[in-house]
A and B are shown apart, each in its own frame.
Chain A
Amino acid sequence: MLKQVEGSWAVAEAVALCRPQVICAYPITPQTHIVEGLGEMVKSGALGGCEFINVESEFAALSVAIGSSASGARTYTATSSQGLLFMAEAVYNAAGLGLPIVMTIGNRAIGAPINIWNDHSDSMSMRDAGWIQLFAETNQEALDLHIQAFRLAEALSCPVMVCMDGFILTHAYEQVDVPSQADVDAYLPPFAPRQVLDPAEPVTIGAMVGPEAFTEVKYLAHHKQLRALELIPQLAAEFQARFGRASGGLLRPYRTEDAELVVVALGSVNGTVQEAVDALRARGMRIGSVGIGSFRPFPLAALRAVLMGAKRVVVLEKSLAVGLGGILSDGVRKALSGIALQGHTVICGLGGRAITQKSLEGLFEAAARDGLTDPVTFLDLNEAVVARELERERQGGRGPTAESILRQLGTVASRIG
Chain B
Amino acid sequence: MNSPVKFYQTGTFTVGNRLLDADLRSVQSATTRTNSLNSGHRACQGCGEALGARYAIDAAMRATSSQLVAVNATGCLEVFSTPYPETSWQIAWIHSLFGNAAAVASGVAAAMRVQGRHDVRVIAQGGDGGTTDIGFGCLSGMFERNDDVLYICYDNEAYMNTGVQRSSATPPAARTATTPAVGPHPGNVAGTGKNVPLIAMAHGIPYVATASVANLRDLEDKVTRAMGIHGARYIHIHVPCPLGWGSAPADTIKVARLAVESGLFPLFEAEYGEVTAATKIRQRVPVDEYLELQKRFAHLFAPQRDDARLAAIQATADRNVARFGLVD
Contacts and interface: CB of A to CB of B under 8 A. Distances in A.
Interface of A: 21-22, 24, 49-51, 53-57, 59-60, 63-73, 75, 89-90, 93, 97, 197-199, 201-210, 213
3 interchain residue pairs of minimum CB distance: A67-B107, A71-B111, A206-B95
Contacts of B103: 55, 59-60, 63-64, 67
B17 interface: no
Contact of A208 (B82, B104, B112, B145): B82
Contacts of B106: 53, 55, 60, 64, 67
Given A66-B104, A206-B95, 13 more contacts: A22-B114, A51-B113, A55-B103, A63-B103, A67-B109, A73-B115, A197-B69, A199-B91, A204-B89, A205-B93, A206-B94, A207-B82, A208-B84
A67 B92 contact: no
Interface string B113-157: 111000010000000000000000110110011000000000000
**Interface-centre pick from A57, A65, A71 (highest chain B CB count, 10 A):** A71
Nearest to A213: B84
B111 A202 contact: no
B114 A54 contact: no
B269 interface: no
Contacts, number: 153
A206 B84 CA distance: 10
A208 to B, nearest CB: 5
A66 B106 CA distance: 10
B100 A63 contact: yes
Contacts of B111: 21-22, 51, 67-73, 75
A68 B112 CA distance: 8
A57 B140 CA distance: 11
Contact of A51 (B67, B91, B110, B120): B110
B100 A90 contact: yes
Given A199-B68, A207-B82, A73 B100 contact: no
Given A199-B91, A207-B87, A72 B67 contact: no
A59 B100 CA distance: 8
Given A21-B111, A53-B110, A210-B83, A59 B96 contact: no
Contacts of B90: 202
A307 B127 CA distance: 55
Nearest to B68: A199
A65 B94 CA distance: 13
Interface residues of B, number: 43
B261 interface: no
Given A55-B103, A59-B137, A64-B104, A205 B114 contact: no
A60 B95 contact: no
A247 B316 CA distance: 67
A73 B112 CA distance: 8
A324 B140 CA distance: 42
B99 interface: yes
A205 B99 contact: no
27 contacts: A21-B115, A22-B111, A49-B114, A53-B110, A55-B106, A56-B137, A56-B144, A57-B137, A60-B103, A60-B138, A63-B103, A64-B103, A66-B104, A67-B105, A69-B111, A71-B115, A72-B111, A73-B110, A73-B114, A89-B97, A197-B108, A199-B66, A202-B89, A204-B87, A206-B72, A207-B95, A210-B84
A60 B93 CA distance: 19
B78 A208 contact: yes
Interface string B71-88: 110000011001110010
Interface string B47-68: 0000000000000000000111
A70 B115 CA distance: 13
A97 B90 CA distance: 20
A89 B265 CA distance: 34
A21 B116 CA distance: 11
A66 B71 CA distance: 11
Contact of B104 (A51, A56, A63): A63
